Amino acid sequence: MPYEDDVLRVSLNVLPLSVFHSVAIFSFTKSEAQLADLALARVFHTTGEQQKYELSKLLLERMENFALNPQRVSSWSGHKLDTIKSAYRATLLVNGIQDHPELMLF
């Protein structure tokens, strides 16, 4: 189905498997696969800790709301929690957030 606009349609679901393990599922149409790959290259073309960091930044920058496991959040330092909250709030005013090691959600 062709669209007459320039909006990329990608659905992201992050499902918790346990307190410290989650899986991310990206869904998009076949016709938008190449654009999705370009737009999400920082997540798709990295692995390990870097991939988790890029996914964390994507969530903070682009998602309107999301829930985090309270047990996971309680393991964070106050500084880490404040850094994440500040970055999330900053997205209301600017497009994109600065890299910071404390932004890792996973």
pTM confidence score: 0.85
Q: For position 16, what pLDDT does the model report? A: 86
- 16: part of which helix (H) or strand (E)? strand 11-18
- When pLDDT is cut at 50, 70 and 90, the band that residue 64 belongs to is confident
How does pLDDT run across 3-48, given as a tens digit for each residue? 566 778 899 999 988 877 889 999 999 999 999 999 999 999 999 9
Q: For position 2, what pLDDT does the model report? A: 58
- Pairwise CA distance, residues 71 & 98, whole Å: 26
Q: Where are the domains of the chain?
A: 11-103
Tokens of 51: 């991939």
89 phi/psi in degrees, rounded to 5: -65, -35
